[in-house]
Structure 1
Amino acid sequence: MRRDLVRSLRGARLSAPDRLTGTVLVAFSDAGVFRMRAVVVGSVAFQTYPALLGVGIPANLARTADLDIAQAHLIAVMVEDEITRTPKDLLKKVDSNIVGIPTPRWKACVSSATHSDPEPRSV
């Protein structure tokens, strides 16, 4: 089904996520990250705008080589649920070449990650 969606997006000349981005989004979704009030922001979220606005955006302007996810912490705290796996664990499950980058303030907390192969992969 996911491949059909990507094929449809490309057929309509819209931007579609690369394979790694799609796989990470599915892993985070399966783990309940979005259930806990996290949202996709940044260039991956902006890929939805051309379809909503009926305009074209050149692919090289529509993407950076990252995936940004934000969370409304105060809302997430109020939800009586929890995620048992850390973002770092989820990323490692997707691809062992992904390396977490600790935040300067909290060394134990991974707030971003990088991949040894920075080139986006197509579906």
Structure 2
Amino acid sequence: MYQCFEHSYFSTLDINTTHSTCFVEGNIAGNCQILWSNYIKTRHRASVAIALLQEYWNQGIGTRLFKELIKIAENDKYITQIELGFIEGNTRARALYEKMGFRIVSANVNAFRLKDGTLRNEYIMIREIKR
């Protein structure tokens, strides 16, 4: 059984962020973050990230963490879109993101260089929040 707890909230004049950590039997299984700005030009955008240890894949934890991030965004009256990026070839992440309502909107060509020198694209996805 796993439990997800909101770990921390941080706010300054420019930025807000919330981190959540998921524990399984007292061990950290993964975490996630949502970050948004207070500036008028970008106030409608929130960025999310998630990390989950491989041993905890396929247990619904990633989905649960994402639902929490989406709920935070939906509860903020200014946020109208959630954004994220993933590395080309990460089909598991892409499947989760699409399941959660995200769609690819652009690519950053050769954005990542792997240890072996291989270059990979980064794909940018968004999920719009209808108000």
**Fold conserved (TM > 0.5)?**
no
The normalised TM-score by structure 2 is: 0.30
**TM-score of the superposed pair, with normalisation by structure 1:** 0.31
